[in-house]
Amino acid sequence: MTRWPFHYLLLLSVAVFCVPGVIALHDEQNRTILNVGYLTAITGELMDKQGLAISGALTMALDEINDDENLLPNVKLQLRWNDTKGDTVTATKAITEMICDGIVTIFGPEGHCYVEAIVSQSRNIPMISYKCAEYRASAIPTFARTEPPDTQVIKSVISLLRYYGWKKFSILHDELWTTVADLLKEQATKRNMTINHKEAFLTNMPKCCALGLPCCRTSFWYQTVQNTMNRTRIYVFLGSASSLVDFMLSMETSNLFLKGEYMVIFVDMMPYTPK
């Protein structure tokens, strides 16, 4: 039996259950009503959700466009939105329903966006994501983003390392940033740089303990330092600020900062952090 990739099944669901085409409705002023989709994250477990912070800007923009007779005099934009909770399945379900109802464009989603972008492309619906760093979506012609892909930071890291002549380093990364870590290793290797270590970790402590992983132990970061300190001097850290603090405290406990022989490069992946 042939096993189809997940996103192909999603496309098939759109093809089977949806009849494409914009539904032409008119308001009391005989303006054509066009539905504008908005996929945001208001609830759910996604970190740094922007739904509650920015949604008012979109509704205000649509009101200003509708009230300006010089912009779209014969058109009225009407908002349709869904809370995706940062979940791909929930977002894709919302997109297929919107497409079936004649949506003309989609703003969002935030968090994940690659599968959603493919579904939108299947019906030639433009999608503009305001907070999605998945680099794979950049290749989709109907997709645009206002936040750079997460892999773009690699250029800065490589440039910094080369500027100081640091040709050997270790990568410590949260599992969420595995793609970035893999690409960093690939690009560094192409430039004849040496990766001393590449180790992943989980930030989610309950999950660590539920799975019985080493990150559940209080000595996890101290042990990580002990396992790597003799073969490296430069660390590139891809993870949360709280994990960084735990790691550097373990380095300090091991007296690694006394002679200035070690360096930690922290890559901030959260551009929307208010601080």
Residues 236 and 262 in one domain: yes
Residues 33 and 142 in one domain: yes
Domain encompassing residue 134: 6-147
Tell me the pTM: 0.64
Q: What is the total count of domains within the chain?
A: 2
Residues 162 and 227 in one domain: yes
Are 41 and 50 in contact by the 8 Å Cβ rule? The answer is yes
Residues 127 and 257 in one domain: no
pLDDT in tens, 188-244: 999 999 999 999 988 766 667 777 777 777 788 999 999 999 999 999 999 888 899
- Give the model's pLDDT for residue 112: 84
103: enclosing H helix or E strand: strand 103-107
Q: Is residue 18 part of a domain?
A: yes
Q: Can you tell me the mean pLDDT for 120-140?
A: 90
CA of 247: how far to CAs of 57, 63, 106, in Å? 39, 48, 41
Indicate the range of 11-15, 16-20, 22-26, 157-161 predicted with least confidence: 11-15
- 269-274: long-range contacts (C-beta < 8 A, 24 or more apart)? 269/133, 269/150, 269/153, 269/177, 269/180, 269/238, 270/47, 270/48, 271/147, 272/48, 272/50, 272/131, 273/48
Report the sign of the C-alpha dihedral through residues 162, 168, 173, 178, in that order: positive
pLDDT in tens, 70-87: 888 899 999 999 999 988
The larger pLDDT score, comparing residue 28 to residue 92, is at: 92
Is the pLDDT confidence value at 129 over 70? yes
